[in-house]
Amino acid sequence: MTLAPITHPDLDGVRHGFFTRQGGASSGIYATLNCGRGSADQSEIVAINRGRVAAHMGVDPDWLVGAYQVHSADVVHVTGPLPDPPRADGLVTATRGVALSVLTADCQPVLFADREAGVIGATHAGWKGALSGVLTRTVEAMEALGARPGRIAAVIGPTISQRAYEVGPEFMEDFLAEDPDRARYFAQGEGDRYQFDLPRYGLDRLRDAGIIDPAWTRHCTYADADRFFSYRRATHAQNADYGRQISAIVLD
C-alpha cells in the first residue's frame, strides 16, 4: 500500500500533505502509517513510517521536524532539525528544506503558506489550543518572518466533525464563559449533550487572524476508520491506544 496524502489547491506550489493512515509498516490498532512517537507502537516501526513520509516530502528524516504537542498557544520558529523537540503546538519557518509537521488524531492539523514571502507554518489545534489562540499566534509568528495575513493560505486538514464531536454541558459552559456568542458552534444533541463544531471554530479563528479565505478539506477523522486514526473512536472502542497521522509542509 502506498502513501495517500491529501493535498489542497489553496496550497498549490508548496509541497505539502495531510497524510492518512495508509502506506505504513505498523499493524494492529496502529495500522499502518502511525507516525506518533508518543504512542505505544514499536519505535523502530514508527521511525520507518516517518522515514517514508520524509522521503515523500523530499527531505532527510531529521529535517521532518515537529514539536512535543501540549495543547498550548506556543509557536516556535524553526531553522533546522530539532533533536530535542520543544513543547509547542505551532511551528513556522522561512528556511528551505525544513519540513514542518504536526500529529493529530481528531484535533485540527493546519498548514499555512505565504508563497510570496517564502514563509510556511504548521499548527496542531484542538479546541483548547484554538481557544488559547494558537492559530493567531502562528500567523503572528509568520508575520515576524515577513509574511502578510492577507497573502497567507491556511488549510485545516482531516479533523473530527460536528456530527461526531459530542460534549457535555460543562464543556459548553466553559467555552461560553468569555463569549456567549460562541453558542453558534454548538448544536443540541441527545439529552444534555451537545455537538461541537471544531472546524468551523478553527475557520473563524483563522479569519480573525487576518486570513482572507481559510479552507477545510472536509474530512472527518472519526467517520472514516479506513483512512484516519481517531482518539475518540479508539476510546469508544475501548482500545488501549491509538495511532497518529502526520501533516507536513516544506519550502522546496
Please choose, from the candidates 241, 250, 227, the residue with its C-alpha nearest in 3D space to the C-alpha of residue 33: 227
Give the CATH superfamily of 9-161+214-247.
CNF1/YfiH-like putative cysteine hydrolases (3.60.140.10)
Size of the chain, expressed as the number of residues it contains: 252
All three cell numbers of 6, joined, read 491529501
Q: Which residues contact 249 (CB under 8 A, 6 or more apart)?
A: 11, 14, 15, 16, 17, 99, 100, 101, 111, 112, 113, 120, 121, 122
Residue in this structure with the C-alpha cell 480573525, named with its chain if needed: 208
Which pLDDT tens digit goes with each residue over 41-67? 999 999 999 999 999 999 999 999 999
* Res. 172: pLDDT tops 90: yes
Which pLDDT tens digit goes with each residue over 193-242? 999 999 999 999 999 999 999 999 999 999 999 999 999 999 999 999 99
CA angle 95, 98, 102 (to 5 degrees): 125
Which pLDDT tens digit goes with each residue over 156-169? 999 999 999 999 99
Are the CB atoms for 150 and 133 separated by under 8 Å?
A: no
**Pairing mode of beta strands 119-125, 90-93:** antiparallel
Q: Determine the Cα–Cα distance for residues 135 and 128; give it in Å rounded to an integer.
A: 11
Q: Determine the Cα–Cα distance for residues 144 and 6; give it in Å rounded to an integer.
A: 29
All three cell numbers of 68, joined, read 512535543
Please choose, from the candidates 63, 54, 67, the residue with its C-alpha nearest in 3D space to the C-alpha of residue 5: 54
Cross-strand partners of 247: 18, 102
Which pLDDT tens digit goes with each residue over 97-144? 999 999 999 999 999 999 999 999 999 999 999 999 999 999 999 999
Q: Determine the Cα–Cα distance for residues 50 and 45; give it in Å rounded to an integer.
A: 9
* Res. 178: pLDDT tops 90: no
Q: Determine the Cα–Cα distance for residues 52 and 248; give it in Å rounded to an integer.
A: 12
pLDDT at 86: 97
pLDDT at 192: 95
Which pLDDT tens digit goes with each residue over 27-41? 999 999 999 999 999
All three cell numbers of 116, joined, read 510570496
Torsion of CA 180, 164, 212, 10, to 10 degrees: 170
* Res. 1: pLDDT tops 80: no
pLDDT at 190: 94
Q: Determine the Cα–Cα distance for residues 211 and 113; give it in Å rounded to an integer.
A: 11
- What is the domain partition of the chain in residue ranges? 9-161+214-247
